[in-house]
Amino acid sequence: MERQEHLLGKKVCSGFCCTKIENFGVKIGKHNILSDVNVHIHCGELTALIGPNGAGKSTLLKALLGEMPHTGELKFLSSTGRHNGHPAFGYVPQTLSLDRSSPANVMDLFLASTTMRPAWFPTARKTKDAVRGYLSRTGAEYLVDRRLGALSGGELQRVLLAMALHPMPDLLLLDEPVSGVDQNGMKAFYEQVSALRAVYDISSIIVTHDLDLIPAYADRVILLNGTVLASGTPDDVFASSAFRTAFPGHQPILTQTTKSNALELLGELNVSYTQDNMNMPISKGDEEATFTNDRLVTACEDQKQTRRLKYNIEQLKEMSQTSAKPAKNQISKTEVRHTKQKNMANIRLGKAKSKTDVSRIKPDNRTIVSHIKTNNRTDVSSIKPDNKTIVSSVKTNNRTAVSSTKTNNRTDVSSVKSDNRTDISSIKTNNKTDLKRTKRGKGKPQ
Amino acid sequence: MTLWYRILSFLPFDWAQPDRMMFMKNALLAIVLLAPVFALLGTMVVNNKMSFFSDALGHGAFTGLVIGGILGLLVPIWAAILFSVVFSVLVTVVRYRSGMAPDTIIGVFSSAAVALGLFLATGSAGKTVRLSSFLVGDILSIGKADISLLAALLLVVVVLWILFYNRLLLISISASLARSRGVQVFRDELLFTVLVAVVVTVSMPWIGLLVINSFLILPAAAARNIASGSRQYTWITVAISLVSGVVGLFISYTVDSATGATIVLVMTVFFFISMLAGRRG
């Protein structure tokens, strides 16, 4: 019921449900496989679990599932604030090796794992329709009568994902779900999981070796090797020294997010960079923004430059954090960083799949965030500028939450279009609020 | 039983007339009761690639029967069942716990069991044991008490099949997936193994050690060639098993051959027909 309301958009989760893994440790014999693992996961977040072979990634998942004895605690707080020690788990194992000649089909697998009625009894039409419905969540309903042996690797993973989503879990654990699936299948799977977390607000932990796909899909990354070596946004973790030690050969791909972050931060801090500190000239202003971006892209092809740039960004972040006051109603979403400064508001949008253009940032008395297109989710929250905020033409495929915007002077939230769901709540202004051309779509998943 | 005889009296066969050839009627009833039991268990034995394992269980059951015969407890069959259950649990536990290849372990246990059985049966203590009846089987000698035991067995298997089928199916598809969905894999597999051991032991005097494994494997293997979906698979296996059993019994009655072996031959014919007709033929 609660979940239903959630699905229909009557309840906003906004990261209030969370899973805490506290002091987890696993011993096999005399060997410490895991120790002191502390992880905090918000709902709706996709967390990538990376680490070298034998780092204990699968062990952590098994310990969470309760298949392995462990020390430490798993705490779960549901979106209603109800403490509930055990989240409902969904689990997609590593690619299964199935008996190709088995007569069992997808329907059998579903029935066998979700119902008490023996699979060799006649199936009621209602049950069949229900199973098709569950499979449609991952676009696998056409596979319902297919033999398991006749499924491709990607198709099987979609079926297993659909199974993991029934009953709807709070925490979805994916153990290298796409190993052995080709690049396209892998991307498709990640997109599916991304879309699901946005629609159903479930937290996911995905064990993966596909480091290149992480920046595009994961909200957070945990680098594990016996214990948590680094955790945070993909950019943070990829820039960490622990990551470079663990994956010395990996060439980080500078994401669009990082690039726009760089631009924002540059503008935000009002620092002009010259060749001295960044090896390239960057000037501010509308016209030069594109030029600068191009230069950034060019520069980023050089790994050395990339690291240097990231290092600079880290430095800038620290500087900006010390100069910015923490927001009162801060909703801790990793995608959303809200910086409150006296003269301007800066809205940084993460995880833009197709394109994020946060180009026309004018670091004077106002902020214009325009033409934001994302495939996943955009949260524009806790904006507290002193002067003026214009959030315009936010287009998302899934969900847009523009919440608790408080301004002293004026807020324009205009032409917010979303395919699925738009929540505009508790906007308080002192002077004037314009909410125009806000369209609400139907609450159906992509 | 009376009802069964009355139903049969409508059949246009010589032996089916009232008060004639009671052993044939009993045998037919035994086949009708046994065929579904073997068919159901067989589907899962084949799913789990346990055909070699079930063969070993048969050898264990054989030894159990010999021991039961020698000890001559109140009812020898219970001693045999007890031994078979212990044997099957032992093999399963060793299979799970030791790192050795399963076929080696099964081979060791299977050989050891049949050797022990033959040793005991041919020794001075075992002169009373009807060795050949265990090896070849003689369903025509089945009595009313044995038939009620088979009926009880069918009932137990069907009930367990309703309760445990989904779990067993999930385990056969993927044990790790089953485990993640809260299925106690070891417990359920053990239960299944014990069930197979009991069924094999109880029916061995009627079917015979030499062909009993084929009763488990062949109908399921034939059904796999043509079935799509577990429901079809189950029902086709039961149908093949029943038809083969009845046809085999009639043939063996006509040409006076060993019933168990004749039924297995009919099943083999079904297997090859299904293989040619099947999608993977």
B223 contacts A103? CB cut-off 8 A: yes
Chain B residues with beta carbon closer than 8 angstroms to that of A107: 229
Which tens digits make up the pLDDT trace of B231-249? 999 999 999 999 999 999 9
- Note whether A129 contacts B: Cβ–Cβ < 8 A: no
A433 phi and psi angles, rounded to 5 deg: -130, 125
Cβ-defined contact of A93 to B180 (cutoff 8 Å): yes
For chain A, the farthest-separated pair of C-alpha atoms sits apart, in whole angstroms, at 76
Residue A304 sits at φ, ψ, to 5 deg, of: -60, -45
**Nearest by CB: B169 against A96, A104, A145:** A104
| Interface touch A96/B177, C-beta < 8 Å | yes
Per DSSP, A96 falls in state -
* B230 closest CB neighbour out of A98, A99, A108: A108
- Which has more confidence, B159 or A290? B159
Structure confidence at residue B29 (pLDDT): 92
Dist. CA A80–CA A11, nearest whole Å:
9
Mean pLDDT of B68-80: 73
Query: How confident is the model over B245-275, as pLDDT tens digits?
Result: 999 999 998 898 888 899 999 999 999 999 9
Residue B60 CA to residue B209 CA, distance in Å, equals 10
Q: Are strands A18-28 and A71-77 parallel, antiparallel or unpaired?
A: antiparallel
Q: How far is B239 from chain A (nearest CA, A)?
A: 14
Give residues with Cβ within 8 angstroms of A183, minimum separation 6.
none
- Picking from B159, B168, B169 by the largest number of A CB atoms within 10 A of its own CB, the best residue to mutate is B169
- Distance of alpha carbon A85 from alpha carbon A75, whole angstroms: 5
pLDDT band (50, 70, 90) for residue B158: very high
For the ranges A18-32, B47-61, B70-84, B238-252, which has the lowest average pLDDT? B70-84
Residue in this structure with the two tokens 């990231």, named with its chain if needed: A310
- Put simply, the chain A residues between 47 and 76 with a CB less than 8 A from any chain B CB are 65, 67
Please report, for residues A289, B75, B202, the alpha-carbon distance to residue B70 in angstroms, rounded to integers and kept in the order given. 96, 11, 17
Structure-token pair, residue A383: 């904006």
CB contact under 8 A, B170 and A113: yes
Angle (CA) A110-A116-A117 rounded to 5° is: 85
- Report CB contact under 8 Å: A123, B231: yes
- Nearest by CB to B166, from A119, A123, A148: name it: A119
CA pair distance B242, B248, nearest whole angstrom: 10
Q: Which residue of B has its CA nearest to A145?
A: B229
The helix/strand/coil state of B17 is: coil
Residues 6 or more apart whose Cβ sits within 8 Å of residue A202: A43, A44, A90, A168, A169, A170, A171, A172, A196
Nearest CA in chain B to A144: B229
Assigned token pair, B163: 């309760």
Q: Which two tokens stand for residue A127?
A: 């049950």
Provide the pLDDT for residue B169: 92
User: Assign residue A151 a region: left if phi > 0, alpha if psi is -120 to 50, beta otherwise?
Assistant: beta
Q: Give the contacts of B16 (CB within 8 A, at least 6 positions apart).
A: B8, B9, B10, B25
Q: Looking at chain A, which residue has its C-alpha nearest residue B158?
A: A118
**Residue A309 phi/psi, 5° resolution?**
-60, -45
How far from each other are the two terminal CA atoms of chain B, in whole angstroms?
Answer: 43
ipTM over 0.90: no
- Predicted local distance difference test score (pLDDT) of residue A354: 30
Q: For position A412, what pLDDT does the model report?
A: 40
Are A165 and A197 contacting, i.e. CB atoms less than 8 angstroms apart? no
Q: Percent helix, strand, coil in chain A (nearest 5)?
A: 35, 25, 40
Q: What is the pTM of this model?
A: 0.67
Would you state the structure tokens that stand for residue A430, as one six-digit string? 């002192």
CB of A358 within 8 A of CB of A372? yes
Place of tokens 């396209």: A184
Q: Give the burial string for A178-217 (b: 16+ CB within 10 Å, else e).
A: beebeeebbbbbbbbbbbbbbbbbbbbbbbbebbebbbbb
Over B188-208, what HEC string results?
HHHHHHHHHHHHHHHHHHHHC
Beta bridge mates, A347: A338
Instruction: Tell if the CB–CB gap between A104 and B229 is shorter than 8 Å.
Output: yes
CB A300 within 8 A of CB A250: no
Comparing C-alpha atoms, which of A286, A43, A68, A361 is closest to residue B176? A68
Residue type, B236: I
Phi–psi pair at A39, nearest 5 degrees: -135, 140
Cα dist. A381→A332, A346, A423 in Å?
A: 10, 11, 11
How far is Cα A267 from Cα A269, in angstroms, rounded to an integer? 6
Nearest Cα residue in chain A from B46? A102
- Residue B183, CB-side half-sphere exposure with 13 Å CA sphere: 29
Chain A residue closest in CA terms to B230: A104
Question: Using the beta-carbon criterion (under 8 Å), do A105 and B229 form an inter-chain contact?
Answer: yes
Q: Does A124 touch chain B (CB under 8 A)?
A: no
Residue B32 has pLDDT above 80, yes or no: yes
B230·A120 Cβ contact <8 A: yes
**A298 lies within 8 A of chain B by CB:** no
**pLDDT digit string (tens) for chain A, length 446 residues:** 444 444 343 444 444 567 888 888 888 878 888 888 888 887 778 889 988 888 888 888 888 887 788 888 888 776 655 555 677 788 888 767 777 778 888 988 888 888 888 888 888 888 888 888 888 888 888 988 888 888 888 888 888 888 888 888 888 888 887 776 777 777 888 888 888 777 777 888 889 888 878 888 888 899 988 888 888 888 888 888 888 888 877 765 555 555 555 555 555 444 444 333 343 334 444 333 433 444 444 444 443 444 545 555 665 555 555 444 333 333 323 233 333 332 233 333 333 333 333 333 333 333 333 333 333 333 343 333 433 333 433 433 333 334 333 333 333 443 344 333 333 433 333 333 334 433 443 434 43
B-contacting residues in A 158-177 (Cβ below 8 Å): 160
**Of the candidates B60, B158, B173, the residue with the CA atom closest to the CA atom of residue B106:** B60
Mean local confidence (pLDDT), B118-134? 74
Distances (CA, A) of B161 to B33, B72, B115: 15, 33, 33
More confident residue, B189 or B175: B189
Name the residue in chain A with its Cα closest to that of B227. Answer: A103
Could you give the CA distance from residue A47 to residue A49 in angstroms, rounded to a whole number?
Answer: 6
Residue with token string 């044939």:
B24
* Rounded-to-5 percentages of helix, strand, coil across chain B: 80, 0, 20
More confident position, A385 or B192: B192
Which of A253, A250, A247 lies closest to A234, judged by CA? A253
